[in-house]
Amino acid sequence: MERENSEKIEKRERIACLYLTFLNHPGGLSFSQIKKSIPLAYQGDPETARRKFERDKEDLKKLGLELIHHFPGSVSAGGREYLDHVYVPASEIHYLPELNFSIEEARTLASVLFRSVNRLKRKNSDSSLLESASAKLFYNIPEALFIDEIFDQPLIEHNAQKSASESEALALIHDSLRRRKILCFEYDSASGRRKRCSEGRGLIAHRGRWCFVAFCRDAGDIRHFYLDRMSSVEVTPDGYISDKKFQLNQHLLHPLNIHRHEKKRLKIYYSEDCDDAVSDYYSDIPSSLKPEKNYDSISFDTTNLNAFFSWMMKNPKAVVSIEPEYVKGLYNDFVRDIRGYYL
């Protein structure tokens, strides 16, 4: 049934939505942001809506989530004035630890899940959901996905429009990862086509394309290879020892992670009017860059300032200020250089 107003939302559901909203925003939220996140919960007169939230806030406290209320006109610890009612968790929000399976546990569970998928196929629409959930559960344990009894099944659905050569490369990469064998291939890059021999670490998806993460013996470092640029792929008989300290989720591709300079720590203060754009950008920053989001600021590491400057140009009203101070000068230089291309 379609809900016509906030009274149609049961209190239990409203409290649950609030709890989840603050879990996703541990740095705090203004009341305007809360209303925007849960639009059906606090409609009507602004002050009446906020009093309703104040009552809900007490229920959150009973659930262990106490919120500190900052009034408009008060000043944050960083010296910035609050322009709205702002609510910040009183203590650090604790999350359940990530699941850490042994390879044996992961392989056993993966086998059960994918056998269930195969039984459900063509019978139940839930099979695609189960397959997707399985792949996400084991994305950072690639060895778990390539056990013998299910290797000949498509473990992660491949886009039907991809070329046959790319599908073949994907199967060979799976085989090399499973058996820990050196993979050699021709790779087209900006510098031309070259033969590469690599020790596989895993597969990631980036902007709709498969990417092979591997230790490149030619470069002597971890590299990312797009499958649609690979050809003449061959699994060699030479094996390698896997790097047990390697964490695939720390090597997800992101423009901020491209190595153009030494790592720098940025802190940006952003406009509340652009909270959606900033939140989307923040959620996309990999954990290896140590992103931290507060009520009006975001901090993160980067080895590619130009990537962030490009985002700033696409969202000109989002950033109010940047720290450290010298970055402002670098941004002005970036803008001047961009103008030089078009003027």
- The residue-averaged pLDDT of 81-98 equals 79
Report the chain's mean pLDDT, rounded to a whole number: 77
Say whether pLDDT at 7 is over 80: no
Say whether pLDDT at 240 is over 90: yes
pLDDT at 197: 94
Say whether pLDDT at 285 is over 70: yes
Listed by start position, the domains of the chain span 6-89, 101-157, 160-246, 255-342
How far apart CA 163 and CA 156 sit, in angstroms, is 16
pLDDT at 198: 93
Q: pLDDT, tens digit, for every residue of 163-208?
A: 456 778 888 998 898 899 999 999 987 667 889 999 998 887 665 6
**DSSP H helical ranges for 95-191:** 103-120, 126-137, 164-179
Q: Judging by beta carbons within 10 Å of its beta carbon (0-12, 13-18, 19+), is residue 270 exposed, middle or buried?
A: buried
Residue closest to 281 by CA, chosen among 88, 289, 330:
289
How far apart CA 217 and CA 182 sit, in angstroms, is 10
Say whether pLDDT at 338 is over 50: yes
Q: Quick one: pLDDT band at residue 234, thresholds 50, 70, 90? A: very high
Q: Quick one: pLDDT band at residue 146, thresholds 50, 70, 90? A: very low
pLDDT at 75: 84
How far apart CA 196 and CA 225 sit, in angstroms, is 10
**Which architecture characterizes domain 160-246 according to CATH?**
Roll (2.30)
pLDDT at 245: 83
Which residue, chain included where needed, has tokens 């802190």?
267
Top pLDDT among 35 and 104 is at 35
pLDDT at 80: 79
How far apart CA 3 and CA 9 sit, in angstroms, is 8
- The residue-averaged pLDDT of 151-174 equals 57
- The residue-averaged pLDDT of 264-268 equals 92
Let me know: does 109 contact 89? Beta carbons within 8 Å: no
Say whether pLDDT at 340 is over 50: yes
How far apart, in Å, are the Cα atoms of 44 and each of 3, 50, 51, 57, 336? 15, 10, 12, 18, 47
pLDDT at 98: 66
pLDDT at 117: 66
**DSSP H helical ranges for the chain:** 11-24, 31-37, 46-62, 103-120, 126-137, 164-179, 275-284, 305-314, 326-342
pLDDT at 156: 38
- The residue-averaged pLDDT of 88-101 equals 72
Say whether pLDDT at 46 is over 50: yes
Say whether pLDDT at 160 is over 50: no
Q: Quick one: pLDDT band at residue 334, thresholds 50, 70, 90? A: confident
Q: Which of 51-65, 121-135, 224-238, 305-319 has the lowest mean pLDDT?
A: 121-135
Top pLDDT among 124 and 69 is at 69
Whole-number percent of the chain with pLDDT over 90: 14
How far apart CA 191 and CA 30 sit, in angstroms, is 50
Q: Which of 113-117, 141-145, 245-249, 337-341 has the lowest mean pLDDT?
A: 141-145
pLDDT at 279: 79
Say whether pLDDT at 151 is over 50: no
pLDDT at 266: 92
Residue type, 202: G
pLDDT at 159: 37
Polymer length in residues for the chain = 343
Classify 163 as helix, strand or coil.
Answer: coil
Which residue, chain included where needed, has tokens 């939230």?
53
